[in-house]
Amino acid sequence: MNGAELSLAGVCKSFGGLTVIDHLGFTVKRGSRTALIGPNGAGKTTVFNLVSGVYPIDDGTISLDGEDISIVSPAGRIGHGISRSFQNIRLMPHLSTIENVMLGEHWRRPAFSLARGRRAVESVKAALADAGLQTYPGQVVANLPYGIQKRIEVVRALLAEPKILMLDEPAAGLNNAESDDLRALLERVSARGITLLVVEHDMHFVRRLCDHVVVLNFGRLIFEGTPEEVHRDPAVLEAYLGTDARAVQSDNTAKAR
């Protein structure tokens, strides 16, 4: 499985008079593990919604491996290799775990093939086992704990065989052990060559998983670099702390002395 390179160039999106994404451009390199971070309201989830086709863009281009996908329908983008999870869990509450996960591979199966054919069930069970979810296949997801549902969302997105996997706050609400399990799963996914784009507030998780960080504020790009560099950037500090970055840095220096 090969990853894909995602590029946004001059992307704009407004809702009524409110500009949410303002001439945004950045590239997620093939096979990279990129984090998309920023304060609340920075436009991170909107970027996910634009890339996956939930909203049409007002201006600019979104391209995958150089191919403009801006006008591809939402249902068609999964065929281009874009798959995602959601900030708030969006599993199908009345379906079982295995049925939810099967939805991930729906686009590449014939409409009248049996959903629970032997081969399909085996591949889904293997994917669930890889994520440590082998004990839940037949259970209705609405009755499962939050952390399990979060992981099921990731497995569903993976079953789509994406070139780029977009995860919106995958570690939110998980305890340390669950978060470590999830990171290990995503590292295995990354090792298969799949590009990862992750929105996450947990910087510890980001530092351990990601090799590249893109920071947004008010729908604009304010920084790109490594996880180590991001903590030293004055614009990022100002965006997060809402104060003069130099004062923060001098305060830190004073404390260090």
Partner 1 sequence: MSGYMSGVLAVLLINMVIAYSVFLPAAAGLLNLGAAGFVLIGGYTAGGLTSRAGWPLVPAILVAGLFAGVVAFVLAFPILRTRGVYMVLATFAFAEVVGGIYLNIPSLGGATGLSVSTYAGLPVIIPTTVCVVAFVAWLLSTRLGLAMRAAHDDENVSLLFGVNLRMVQVAAFTAGGALGGIGGALLVHQFNFIDVQTTGVLFSIYVLLYVLIGGTQTAWGPFAGALFFTVVPEILRTMSKLDPSMKFLEAGRFIVFGIAVVLIMVVRPEGLITRTLIEKVQGSLRRLAARETAA
Is residue 95 involved in binding partner 1 (CB under 8 A)?
yes
Among 40, 88, 112, 256, binds partner 1 (CB under 8 A): 112
Q: Which one of the spans 101-109, 172-180, 196-204, 214-222 is the region binding partner 1 (CB under 8 A)? A: 101-109
For the segment 137-166, give every residue that binds partner 1 (CB under 8 A).
138-140, 142-143, 156, 160
Strand partners for 225: 213
Is residue 129 involved in binding partner 1 (CB under 8 A)?
no
What span, in angstroms and rounded, lies between the C-alpha atoms of 139 and 215?
39
Q: Which one of the spans 19-27, 63-71, 102-110, 212-220 is the region binding partner 1 (CB under 8 A)? A: 102-110
Choose between 124 and 239: whose C-beta lies nearer to partner 1: 124
- Listed in sequence order, the residues at least 6 apart from 91 whose beta carbon sits closer than 8 Å to its beta carbon are 100, 141, 149, 152, 153, 156
Q: Which of 226, 203, 201 is nearest to 214 (CA)?
A: 226
User: HEC states along 165-227?
Assistant: EEEECCCCCCCHHHHHHHHHHHHHHHHCCCEEEEECCCHHHHHHHCCEEEEEECCEEEEEECH
Choose between 107 and 218: whose C-beta lies nearer to partner 1: 107
Is residue 125 involved in binding partner 1 (CB under 8 A)?
no
Among 17, 40, 66, 111, binds partner 1 (CB under 8 A): 111
Q: What 3-state DSSP class applies to 48?
A: helix
**Could you give the angle at the alpha carbon of 48 between the alpha carbons of 52 and 74, nearest 5°?**
15
Choose between 99 and 237: whose C-beta lies nearer to partner 1: 99
Is residue 92 involved in binding partner 1 (CB under 8 A)?
yes
Nearest approach in angstroms of CB 211 to partner 1 is 27
The first and second tokens of residue 206, run together, are 């980001």
Q: Which one of the spans 10-18, 38-46, 91-99, 245-253 is the region binding partner 1 (CB under 8 A)? A: 91-99
Q: What 3-state DSSP class applies to 83?
A: strand
Nearest approach in angstroms of CB 144 to partner 1 is 11
Among 88, 113, 176, 253, binds partner 1 (CB under 8 A): 113
Question: Widest CA span of the chain, in angstroms?
Answer: 70
Among 103, 121, 245, 248, binds partner 1 (CB under 8 A): 103
Q: How many CB atoms lie within 10 A of CB 235?
A: 13
What span, in angstroms and rounded, lies between the C-alpha atoms of 54 and 228?
33
For the segment 51-90, give every residue that binds partner 1 (CB under 8 A).
52-54, 74-79, 83-84, 86, 90
What span, in angstroms and rounded, lies between the C-alpha atoms of 121 and 137?
10
Choose between 55 and 218: whose C-beta lies nearer to partner 1: 55
Residues that bind partner 1 (CB under 8 A): 52-54, 74-79, 83-84, 86, 90, 92-96, 99, 102-104, 106-116, 138-140, 142-143, 156, 160
